[in-house]
Structure 1
Amino acid sequence: MISAAAQAQAPEEQAASSVSNEDIVVTARRKDESLQDVPQVVNAVTGAAIEKLNIQKFEDIQTVVPGLSLASGSSGTSTRLSLRGVTYDSFGSAPPTVEFYMNDATIFGTLLFQSMYDIGQIEVLRGPQGTLRGRAAPSGSITVTTRRADLFDVGGYVNGTATDRGGINLNAAIGVPIIKGAVALRLAGIVDQNDYDFVKSVNNGTSPFSNSRGGRASLRIEPSDNITANITYQYLDRQQKAFPGVESMVISQPGAAVGTGPFLRAADRRGITDGAVTIDEQQQVLNGQLTWRFAGQRLDYVGSLTFWDSKTSTPQDLANLIPGTELRQNVETDFQTRSNEVRLSSDERLFNFLDYTIGVFDFWNRSTNDIDNVGTLIDTYQRRHERSFFGNLTAHLGENTEISGGIRKITFKSADRMTLTAFGIDLLPYVERKHTPTIYNASISHRFSDDFMVYASTGSSWRAGPLTLGVFRPLTPNLDRFLNIRPEKSKSYEVGFKSTLLDRRLTLNVSAFHQDFDGYIYRGAPVNYVNLGRTGESLNVFNFQANVPAKVNGVEVELAYKPSDRFNLSASFAYAKGKIKNGEIACNDSDGDGVPDTGPVTIGSIKAASGGDAVAACSVTQRLSYAPNWSLVLTPEYNAPITERVSGFVRGLFSYYPDNPNDPTNAFDSVKAYSLLNLYLGIRDPDNAWEVSLFAKNLLNTKRTLTRGDRPQATFGVTNPAYGDYVSATYTRPREFGVNVRYAFGSR
């Protein structure tokens, strides 16, 4: 991770060690600044580090950024992430706790959770965002910048990887000046195929896979010294097949049913469905950036258009009640977004001490889903439109002290509809909502010397409450409060320092933060409720949501040390403890004591526990995040010359995760402490023109069950007594060996 260091290095050494400082420029505050000058925590991972550590998937950025957890769901449309002690699951339909940006424009997170190539830099900004950058996000923002063409020289690269587990990744790019010094074009592409998560089904002989093909064209135009335009078009086509992994329930819950089905451990990487989850998706992203500098001012425009089409087929016979035949849910998704932002800011300080930024932001997205759930046809429609005005003012009191504050006024509108297609019945009539929140931020920093800065900041954030769909019966008081969720508000406070020591060979950055949530949007585990159908009352299961009070406290430490020209080491540590205190959530409460339990649930027990309501409610005090409270990342590298034209190197990537209770509502999926070690050994050109490396990912072959369900796999609520009880399970990726060859030329 390139989040801290103080030494100046040769370019190839910076890329290899993932450590630098003076030469790393970030845009955390929408302007180019040295990383150590920004009074907030920013983790920057350069494109060179991505190549050196052979990071091929976006979610693998979590291996170099402690406290960050990223995962894409097997459905192809879901994401799960954690940062600063808060977990977000896109299935909850609330806005994310972390917003994503590509080339400065808002982008839907799922579109990034695919193969990566030709990346310039990724920045992870921690803490509330939104006063200066797009949409409000309480936990942070992640920005991705793609490489641009050189206006003067031809350049490019070819990068190929092959592994012993059938993985093939080939990506390349070439940039060409069209009008030297004024117009240039860069073309990049990728071919990526692998066995996804290696989970196979005992009832299906085919193997899982994920195949991606993509390309990107970037046009750079600079007709004069004060006008710059960058236009990027990106296309990606992906097909995927995957099987839901399971484990015999008796492993975690002695006494569970054991039938004729095979005994399976999570380590076996096996499923039991006859069919696989299949995904066929295409995405297109058009992005434009325009800058005009005039009279000491700067006018910026950033806009994007996104088109995403996905066809997902998911097996529904999870208990294999009907061997040899698969029941399916087929979903066709059409997703479109449009964003526009105009900013006016000072390019030169006003009155020699004042910087300002003002602007307007407009974001619109529409999604439709055609759902065929085992013959039941449902259409859904969602539209979101967000418009905001923002401003930020920074006063420089001398050369060493800075006071900054910003505000953003948001107008958020949404519209939702759900229709039972076959009968033309509106399960959810057209519903519109509107909110007009205001968020703010303020900070102060003081530099006691060129090598030591302290800062303090505070900020607020906001998320719109989701409209929870799926319960189609008259609402009771409990159903109403667990389905109609109000917006969430939060406030955060942070202090920290950034320092360089030992003749700029050591960098140490430390921060501490506290965050309060008013009405945190919580999505719970599936619970039973009383449904009303044509034949009367029946038990159904649903993932309800709730507004709960929550707090997070945390500490983050970044250290980089270069004791010699041949060895360097960076270490990063993140601790965040989030807690819900006395939050009212929907629950299964078989004995009516107000505490969630796993006892048998009946219509009578629900009514008894809830006073006649359709769903029980419990007061809980529990963890806020599924991620570990803390994690540690180490990235050492040693390099030495072999000849005048060849250098040798060995580098490592070590991540440590402590014991983790995981899902606070699931007593059976606690994860024991584990570590992951990647090792890279190879040779390279001293000028970084080529590199050949052998690598091992999960070198120690660490084996851990990462998630485990607490309920047996069922088909429409019915288990398979003959086949036996299984629970969902995921496992660490197996050890993988590979070779990487990279060649770069010209401006690269």
Structure 2
Amino acid sequence: MAVAATEEAAPGDIVVTARKREETLQEVPLTINVLSQAQIERQAISNLADIAKNTPGLTFADGISQGDPRLSIRGQSNIRAASQPTVGVFIDGIDIPFLSGLNTESLDISRIEVVKGPQSALFGRGVEAGAINYISRRPEFETNGYMQGEVGTDELYDIRGRINLPVSDTFAVSASGRYKNFDGFYSNKLTGRSTIGGGEVKTGAFAARYKPDDRLEVYLRTSYSDEYLEQQARVSVDSNTKTGPGAAQVWYVGALKADPDQIFANSDNYGGFRREVYTASLIVDYDIGPVTFSSISGYNHTNRLIDIDADYMGTNSTQLPLHPVFRNNVRGYSDLSLDSYSQEARVSSSEPGPFQWLAGVYLQSQKNESVGGSIYGTDRTPATSVLRPLDEKIDTVAVFGSASYQLGDLRLSGEVRYNRDKNHSVVPGLVFDETFENILPRFTAEYKLSRNFRVYASAAKGNKPGGFNLSPGSGNAVLPNELIPFNEEETWSYEAGFKSELFDDVLTFNAAAFYIDWKQLQVDDQLTTPGGLIGYTSNAGKAEVTGGEVELFFRPTRDFNVSLGYAYSPSRIIDYQLSQARTAGIVTLGRKHLPFTADHTAVLGINYSKPVSDELTVFGQWNTRYSSRQYATVANLEYVNARSVTDILFGARTETVDVTFYVNNLFDNRTPSSASTYPDVQTGLRSFLVSVADPRQIGVRTRFNF
């Protein structure tokens, strides 16, 4: 019988694969936060919001919709909405296309690695700030499984289970499934119905593992998920300050608030956010003596529908400046079908020795077909639409490698990747092609001062893919040809740090300092044309981040441990004029705080687990995350206040039964987590969308192991 993982491992005992090899966390000259299987199961971690709660230096929030993920590591956030994040998300090293929706509800995960700093040399495109890699749980060669049920306030019901079966001594399979239904924390004040923030998730996975000996292993995994999510809990906040003599020269100045009584959405009959994802992967590792051959094949098919209220006025009698003939609301609509194929093949040295190396090739082909834009109209008036089809194809070819050499206690290593992206996009009557090429190196030196104390320094280059201003319904086809494409972002990151285990491994103390030189930022811009004002993406200026991180893990006894992580990531954009602010008469030149990221983040975890008999163990956990002020734009006039959220859990377990009581947001902190700029469709003036914070939630999880 295999039971749930329960004991929190020390960093020196955790094995990671961030450099395409198995290494202990303390040996790797990178800043990595790892969520172990024990932690994932105890806290029911399943999405990016859960990961961010436990990771200093990582911030996450949904943007305009759940299809607009806002991920940031070390202050490298997205200024540009609905775009490729600076952070890549992977499952078993296989890229999840951001259009597929990065914030999926994961299932059957053995650990999660959050790797900070550019990882382009080994992970590829779109990881200039870092990478999040989910490592799935492989079938084991013994019969085991579990069933778990969860009930929480606001009608949360979550059922999941897994069964593992050995077919023979060399072949095993597993199957898992989950059903989740949630009513949402808030109601729609327009209709009085509970149609805000809820949803339904159905997901399942099947895996097979063949391991005839210690040399060969074949791992097949497929998964399917079907998600429906209601309109998010957002409120529209009008500007409160005149910033110039013009009628449109207004802005919000001060701390943004989000009143749940102001949630008005004309969305009860809309489609909401629907996502259907099918994935398949095949991983083969074969040790043929002096080298190991590895193959990773991946496939992702996604159907995604976004059908939401896009004006946040909560009425179907709104006078729209852009379409004054109608008295109705604006409905945001996008229907996407995506297919992505990827293949990685690599060989690496497998015998011990001072010289270690790895070489590989990577291919990916991604095709997206979508139609989207805005629909104007409700039941009261005939609907019209500004929808546009868009076909995209991105073909990626890369060659990569790494080498390291041990000279006594000094190890020198280098990594490099040649990456070529060929983008092909088609809108009615227009075809665009662009090729982006890059060489992405990393250099590292590490020195072992003693068995338990290591220092390191590194320099790495990262990039974020370029593209075209062809978003469905944006009207960007009338842009001058020279403004249609936008370039890749480029980052050079320099890091120095140490990793140590002190007092007979009772205390783990790690720290790092870093400097990030970030150029060609992809930003929002505007152009006035005869047809009106058009928003588009351009490349502007540079940004810098000079910061550091500290990690402490203190385990004085087997039953008790304390972890503390702190990150200081002050990202500043230099001499960039925000076009919306210019219209309002606001100058944003100089050094400005980048939006959607916090200078200071910290995570405190306290864990206690004590056997009280041969069969029964009691446990408890305290987890607090602090995040400092975040701005909504580079104007740096409007912001959400610093917030601190505490979750606790406690319970008891035996070999077969585990009961956990939890309270999320123990102190019921209602400070908004994020905000972004948005137009007021009634007046055409600047307003802001502000998230309504999740209130306190209480629940219980019961798990049966067999």
Quickly say closer, same or farther: Cα 1:376–1:36, change in 2 above 3 A.
Answer: same
Greater displacement, 672-681 / 59-68: 672-681
1:461 Cα deviation from its structure 2 partner: 1.5
Q: Secondary structure at the match of 1:225?
A: coil
The amino acid across from 1:496 in the alignment is: G
Contact kept, 8 Å, 1:220 with 1:229, in 2: the verdict is yes
Q: Which residue of 1 aligns with 2:438?
A: 437
CA pair 221-90 structure 1, distance change in 2 beyond 3 A: farther
TM-score by length of 1: 0.84
* 8 Å contact from structure 2 (residues 78, 596) kept in 1: no
TM normalised by structure 2 equals 0.89
* Alpha-carbon distance, 1:680 to partner: 0.9
Change in Cα spacing, 1:322 to 1:220, as seen in structure 2 (3 Å) is: same
Give the C-alpha shift of residue 85 in structure 1. 0.9
Q: Structure 1 pair 366/80, CA: closer, same or farther in 2 (3 Å)?
A: same
Q: Deviations over 1:333-371 (max 9, x none)?
A: 10111110000100114xx31111011001111111123
| Distance in 1, Cα, partners of 2:570 & 2:290 | 45
Cα deviation 1:115-137 (Å, max 9, x = unaligned)? 22221110001111121224352
Matched ranges for 1:128-207 at <5 A: 128-135=118-125, 137-151=127-141, 153-179=142-168, 181-196=169-184, 198=186, 200-203=188-191, 205-207=193-195
Shift of residue 708 of structure 1?
4.5
Contact 1:339 1:362 in 2 (8 A): yes
The one-letter code sitting in structure 2 at the alignment partner of 1:401 is: L
CA contact (8 A) 1:57 1:114 kept: yes
Residue from 284, 291, 297 that aligns with 1:290:
284
Q: Is the 8 A contact 2:154 2:184 kept in 1?
A: no
Note the alpha carbon deviations across 1:78-131, whole angstroms, 9 max, x for none: 2111101111367453x4311111012111245441222221110001111121
Q: Return the alpha-carbon distance in structure 2 between the equivalents of residues 435 and 265 of structure 1.
A: 42
Give 1:585 deviation, angstroms.
5.0
Aligned to 2:24: 34
2:655 pairs with 1:652? no
Write the letter of the residue equivalent to 2:561: N
1:415 aligns with 2:424: yes
Partner secondary structure for residue 131 of structure 1: helix
Report what 1:603 is aligned to. none
Q: Is the 8 A contact 2:633 2:676 kept in 1?
A: no
Deviations 1:264-290 (A, max 9, x none): 972325422322461222110001100
1:678-714 CA-partner distances (Å, limit 9, x unpaired): 11111122x5x43212110000111213345666631
Code of the aligned partner of 2:602: L
Deviations 1:579-613 (A, max 9, x none): 1112355344358xxx636xxxxxxxxxxxxxxxx
State the SS of the aligned residue for 2:265: coil
Correspondence for 2:339: 336
Q: 2:274 aligns with which of 276, 280, 285?
A: 280
Question: What percentage of aligned pairs have identical amino acids?
Answer: 23
State the Cα distance separating 1:541 from its structure 2 match.
5.2
Pairwise CA distance, 1:463: 2.5
Match of 2:322 in 1: none
Q: Which shifted more, 324-333 or 567-576?
A: 324-333
Give the secondary structure class of the aligned counterpart of 1:36.
helix
- Equivalent residue letter for 2:435: K
Instruction: Give aligned pairs, total.
Output: 670
Separation of aligned partners in 2, 1:168 and 1:74: 26
Equivalent residue in structure 1 for 2:591, among 602, 609, 621: 621
Distance 2:111 2:549 in 1: 21
Give the 3 Å change call, closer, same or farther, for CA 269–468 of structure 1 in structure 2. farther
Q: Is the Cα–Cα contact under 8 Å of residues 80 and 89 in structure 1 kept in the other structure?
A: no
Q: How far is the alpha carbon of 1:736 from its aligned partner?
A: 0.5
1:238 to partner: Cα distance: 1.0
Structure 1 residues 629 and 312: CA distance shift in structure 2, 3 A:
same
Q: Does residue 62 of the first structure (1) align with residue 58 of the second (2)?
A: no
Please state if 1:383 is matched with 2:383. Answer: no
Q: Which moved more, 1:369-378 or 1:624-633?
A: 369-378
Shift of 1:572: 0.6
Equivalent residue number for residue 740 of structure 1: 701
Q: CA offset at residue 416 of structure 1?
A: 1.1
SS in 2 for 1:436: strand
Paired with 2:76 and 2:162, the residues of 1 have a C-alpha distance of: 37
Q: Tell me if 1:681 matches 2:661.
A: no
Query: Counterparts of 2:242 and 2:182 in 1: how far apart (Å)?
Result: 34
What is the deviation of 1:326?
5.2
What are structure 1's unaligned runs of at least 5 residues?
1-10, 257-263, 420-425, 598-617, 720-724
1:634 is paired with a residue whose SS is strand
What is the rounded CA distance, in whole Å, between the counterparts of 1:356 and 1:97 in structure 2?
28
Paired amino acid for 2:505: R
**Letter of the 1:508 counterpart:** F
- Give the conservation status (yes or no) of the 8 Å contact 1:706–1:730: yes
From 84, 95, 117, the counterpart of 1:127:
117
Q: Which digits, 9 at most, give the CA deviation of each residue in 1:226-275, with x for residues without a partner?
A: 1111010000011122156215537788999xxxxxxx972325422322
CA distance in 2, matches of 1:368, 1:562: 52
Contact 1:247 1:265 in 2 (8 A): no
The answer to whether residue 350 in structure 2 is matched with residue 347 in structure 1 is yes
CA distance in structure 1 between the partners assigned to 2:55 and 2:672 by the alignment: 22
In structure 1, the partner of 2:253 is: none
Shift of 1:392: 0.7
Aligned match of 1:604: none
Question: Cα distance 1:130–1:652, how it changes in 2: closer, same or farther (>3 A)?
Answer: same
How far apart are 1:33 and its partner, in Å? 0.8
SS at match of 1:242: coil
Distance 1:414 1:247 in 2: 36
Residue 573 in structure 1 maps to residue 562 in structure 2: no
Contact 1:550 1:579 (C-alpha < 8 Å) held by counterparts: yes
**Aligned partners of 1:656 and 1:23: how far apart in 2?**
27
- Measured after TM superposition, the shift of residue 332 of structure 1 is 1.5
Say if 1:149 and 1:184, in contact at 8 Å, map to a contact too.
Answer: yes
**What corresponds to 2:61 in structure 1?**
71
Matched, 1:667 2:637: yes
Structure 1 pair 221/682, CA: closer, same or farther in 2 (3 Å)? Answer: same
- What is the SS of the residue equivalent to 1:223? coil
Secondary structure of the residue that 1:149 maps to in structure 2?
A: coil
Moved more, 199-208 or 18-27: 199-208
Could you report, residue by residue, the CA deviation over 1:458-478 in whole angstroms, capped at 9, with x for unpaired residues?
1112233231233447656xx
Query: Counterparts of 2:80 and 2:582 in 1: how far apart (Å)?
Result: 26
Partners in 1 of 2:360 and 2:239 — Cα distance?
A: 58
Letter in 2 for 1:560: F
Match of 2:662 among 673, 689, 695: 695
The question of 1:117 aligning with 2:87 is answered no
Contact 1:92 1:466 in 2 (8 A): no
1:480 to partner: Cα distance: 4.8
In the other structure, the counterpart of 1:634 is 604
CA distance 1:329–1:150, change in 2 (3 Å): same
What secondary structure does 2:337 align onto?
Answer: strand
Return the alpha-carbon distance in structure 1 between the equivalents of residues 3 and 514 of structure 2: 35
C-alpha distance 47-196 of structure 1, shift in aligned 2 (>3 A): farther
The aligned residue for residue 316 of structure 2 is 322
**Distance in 2, Cα, partners of 1:500 & 1:318:** 52
Question: Offset of 1:293 from its aligned partner?
Answer: 0.7
Deviations 1:38-82 (A, max 9, x none): 111111101220121232433210000011112234634221111
Structure 2: distance between partners of 1:436 and 1:728: 37
Q: Give the aligned residue type for 1:450.
A: R
Partner amino acid for 2:290? Answer: G
Query: Partner of 2:570: helix, strand, or coil?
Result: strand
Q: Quick check: 1:705 aligned with 2:667?
A: no
Distance, in Å, in 2 between the alignment partners of 1:578 and 1:175 is 46
